[in-house]
Amino acid sequence: MQKDGILCKKVTRKYGDLTALRAVDLEIKSGDFFVLYGPNGAGKTTLMKILCGLLRPTTGNATVMGEELHESEIRQKVGVISHNSFLYNQLTAHENLSFYAELYGVKSPGAVADMLLKSVELYERRGDFAGTFSRGMTQRLSIARALVADPDFIFLDEPFSGLDVHSATIFRDLLRSLHQQKKTVMMITHDMAIGLSVASHIGILKRGKLVFNEKSSGMTIDKLKKVYIEKVEQ
């Protein structure tokens, strides 16, 4: 069995009586760009949190490179953008990034923070408190935060939410370059077109079950929409 990707075996997750994931099997090979679609409440965020180590499965297990996510060597290689920004309102943009860089043991945290701030076009605002940022700026800063340790595995939960057209284009290019750098990416999105434009593999989750999981080659947006409606609304 391959040991270098993300592997999820019979993962079930319950919140009290509610079953959010039902025996999900999923393999994301190293270098894949996996895009996950699904209606609200399908369990996408839950699945991602389990894969990146923020939640434990009720039964089954999830591994990255064959290791449980509670190992710190694995956490070093993982970057996450979630619904929450993980940013400190009372710290400036620059302080937030260099704080996280320091915790990841990055060599020169200040310089890395500057570089990332430039790449998400927040350099001019680096001295402002994260708490004063607009929704889209916060999202851009949390993208930078996730990339602070140059992770090999990147988990993105609706990373495009709040981004304006210009930032979305920049971010999409960034995602493509991550894919070219052979990073392994899992992204949740509701935007069919954007997802398809970056994906190497596509999955659809419905009521806690993975009902579709295929390569994206040959897939067009119309076909994808049809498949989605078919799978979700049947």
Ligand X SMILES: Nc1ncnc2c1ncn2[C@@H]1O[C@H](COP(=O)(O)OP(=O)(O)OP(=O)(O)O)[C@@H](O)[C@H]1O
Q: What helix, strand, coil percent values describe the chain, rounded to 5?
A: 40, 25, 35
- 40 by Cβ neighbours in 10 Å (0-12 / 13-18 / 19+) ranks as exposed
Check if the beta carbon of residue 21 is closer than 8 Å to that of residue 46. yes
Q: Is 42 in the site for ligand X (CB under 6 A)?
A: yes
State the greatest distance between any 2 C-alpha atoms of the chain, in Å, as a whole number: 53
Pairing mode, strands 209-215 and 201-206:
antiparallel
Site for another protein in 21-60 (CB under 8 A): 52-56
Select from 5, 38, 57, 159 the one that contacts ligand X (CB under 6 A): 38
Q: Is 66 in the site for ligand X (CB under 6 A)?
A: no
Q: Is 82 in the site for Mg ion (CB under 5 A)?
A: no
From the CB of 25, what's the least distance to another protein, in Å?
A: 23
Total residues binding Mg ion (CB under 5 A): 1
Q: Is 86 in the site for ligand X (CB under 6 A)?
A: no
Token pair listed for 215: 């390569």
Interacting residue ranges for ligand X, rule: CB under 6 A:
15, 18, 20, 38, 40-46
Interacting residue ranges for another protein, rule: CB under 8 A:
52-56, 70, 72-73, 75-76, 78, 80, 82, 84-91, 95, 99-100, 102-105, 145
